[in-house]
Amino acid sequence: MTLHGNPYGSTDCNCAPEAKPDHAHTPISPVAGANSRTVLRIDKMDCPTEEALIRGKFSGIAGIATLDFNLIVRRLTITHSPDALPAALGALDAFGFDATVEEAEVSSLRQATAPVIPKSKWIRLAIAAVLAVAAEAAHWTGAPVWIAAVLSIAAVLIGGFETYRKGWVALKNRNLNMNALMSFAVTGAMAIGEWPEAAMVMVLFALAELIETLSLDRARNAIRKLMAMAPETATVHQPDGTWREMPASAVTVGNIARVRPGQRIALDGVITDGRSAVNQAPITGESIPVEKQPGDGVFAGTINEAGSLEFCVTAAATDSTLARIVHAVEAAQGSRAPIQRFVDQFARVYTPAVFAMALSVALIPPLALGMPWLDWIYRALVLLVIACPCALVISTPVTIVSGLAAAARHGILIKGGAFLEAGRKLTALALDKTGTLTEGKPVVINFVPLVEAERPRVLAIAAELADRSDHPVSKAVAAYAAHERGAATIIDFAALPGRGVKGRIDEQWFHLGNHRLIEELGLCSPELEARLDVLEREGKTAVLLADENGVLAIFGIADTLRETSRTALAELHALGVHTVMLTGDNAHTAQAIANQVGIDDVRAELLPEDKLAAISELVARHGKVGMVGDGINDAPALAKADVGFAMGAAGSDTALETADVALMDDDLRKLPTFIRLSRHTAAILGQNIVFALGIKAVFLGLAIAGDATMWMAVFADMGASLIVVLNGLRLLRANHQPPVAENQSVVLTPARSLGTH
């Protein structure tokens, strides 16, 4: 990135980003006039089975354009024509989902919620379990069959009423989900006289459902804890001069708030008074507290370590950086990764296929080969229980959400499962220079007064000229010469676009500017050209101070590298990622920076459209390519790349909107962390799919051979579901942090001495 409107000569421009497909919204059909958007909270919707049921039903409702499911927060967002909402609510009511319309898209995670599983459900399950055990005891003690039958029917009705209800709703809508399969299996078992086994199977299935719900809630808690980090109250300055504690939601932008040592900061703001170290790990993932002073920004959810701080609120509680992170993670859950879409499609084919196989097992051997009916019907029922695709279907969303939440803990905000999965495939990464590899804050590295005795006077004049310009290069000179500020008085100050600035002292003109300005003034000499050539070859910008007679001093200015750039590039290379610098800066400077950090390829003097073309060329050569930039000037390239990464997203709405992945601080080591997390997520997804299908295959074979019982089938299904859920949740505990770099700034080191430093 280079600065637009640079009076020292660099150029750049802003471009609108190329649109990327929106993976979060599932189109149903094109609908004219579908401009209404309704957010529904459905407390009973927390499984892909319910999502598939709703999706199938809504496909037949006129006026429904798109559906956006978020199972983690139990939210469904519908884009529809105005007259379609009553039909949609009626369909949900018919399913027994009790949908409520949310007035505003506030985070569902922050709202007070009832216990995940009501106590009444546990009580009913306990009663059903006692009845099922009693039915088993009656069977083994030789009691009359009717006793076991009555106990079993009672156990099935008490423990499995919800399963039967959901199964009936699914069948009415021509959907063979796991509730329908289990209902068939248990009813069939009772029909052939396997009373105790039918009861125990239903109880075990209900228990598995409850345990699975508890396991899934761990993924919800991982995101819910993000929002809980921000205090619900803040101490705010009142018009009468007093301080009063009030709800954070009632604080408005512009209010002055105060935070004591050890307290969490409730809102985003800019410090107006006080100094302290602030632990920003909840937002940026930084492990070391950051020193803050007046003028610095603070984020909601971070911790004030030492001194008292007062800050001006810059964002409402619902629009804080923390709130935007939670909203983005919630929204990202609705973006299905390719592997998740594959599993959903596979399950839709797999379930009817297994149901057809079960019918074949029940009918063909008795009809074609004269084998016992009850024996083969029992095998078919066992096969139905095994066929429940729950473990397969639930494994992917849990793993994806765990990966998204783990990334958020590390200060990496990923806007969807598709981008989390794409990270493992990146083979090349393009990086902007200024503000990405470097701090974007030029500093004076070399200062050479051509007459040593004139040093104080030269610095005083340079300080006054530079202090009147807001360009970063001028600011660097002004900061370097700040101790001499006020020692000279400039009049008739003027900016010289593309060259520098000028001003008059005691009827004499002074110029502070670039090489081009000195050439225009006719003040160049072979000796001066040689000095400037040394600077330019070292990647520095030369700024010269001259009077009407000649050059008085030379400032060598360079941008400082981020202290994490070298480490990050080394880690990327270790992961097999090819790195490319795309910059609008001159070739000498770009190559000097590249040599410092170890970039593989350098493309310099590029306009935004040139960066876009470079990304296209890299995609053709390397396949999957990522782009790292500031989210504004690099927007076209960010949009074109397979994965766009925005730097400094904690303070930039534009970065959050443009990029696919936002690094919530400026630590480039989060790039290899993201790739490692993506690869780990893909590995766990693969493990879960192989395990779920492997268990199914083994027990399908046992069922057809007659060696599997319904008990074994339920335990296999329940065990597989729990194992894949717990395996997915491992991502929340895994450590993906890069090694901590030395706390040392890195600057461009001159290859040859130019003079006094």
User: Which amino acids are annotated catalytic?
Assistant: 432
Distance CA 536, CA 754 (A): 11
HSE-CB of 713 using CA atoms within 13 angstroms: 31
Q: Which residues contact 508 (CB under 8 A, 6 or more apart)?
A: 547, 548
* Residues 361 and 379 sit within 8 Å (Cβ to Cβ): yes
From 341, 15, 422, 390, select the one nearest 178 (Cα to Cα).
Answer: 390
- As a whole number of angstroms, the distance between CA 377 and CA 697 comes to 19
DSSP 265: P
Question: First-to-last CA distance in the chain?
Answer: 28
Q: How far is CA 32 from CA 24, 29, 58, 78, 520, in A?
A: 21, 10, 17, 15, 63
Identify the residue whose tokens are 């209404």.
36
Q: How far is CA 293 from CA 275, 297, 523, in A?
A: 5, 9, 44
Query: Strand pairing of 551-561 and 303-304?
Result: unpaired
Query: Where do the DSSP E strands lie in 266-308?
Result: 269-273, 276-279, 290-292, 297-298, 303-304
Cα–Cα nearest to 85, from 47, 41, 34: 34
Q: Which of 292, 237, 288, 251 is nearest to 270 (CA)?
A: 292
Q: Which of 207, 189, 76 is nearest to 135 (CA)?
A: 189
| Distance from C-alpha of 291 to C-alpha of 279, rounded to nearest angstrom | 9
Write 479-487 long-range contacts (CB < 8 A, 24+).
479/443, 479/444, 480/443, 480/444, 480/447, 480/555, 483/459, 484/456, 484/459, 484/460, 485/460, 486/460, 487/456, 487/457, 487/460, 487/463
DSSP H or E run through 329: helix 321-333
DSSP assignment letter at 111: S
What are the Cα distances from residue 15, in Å, to 19, 240, 586? 12, 48, 21
Sheet containing strand 256-259, edge to edge, reads 243-247, 233-237, 256-259, 309-313, 269-273, 297-298
- Our CA dihedral for 279, 281, 282, 285, rounded to 10 degrees, sits at 160
Tokens encoding 446 = 């070399």
For 427-496, give the secondary structure using H, E and C: CEEEEEHHHHHEEEEEEEEEEEECCHHHHHHHHHHHHHHHHCCCCHHHHHHHHHCHHHCCCCCCEEEEEE
Cα 279 to chain centroid distance, Å, stands at 21
Angle between helices 338-369 and 178-191 (to 10 degrees): 20
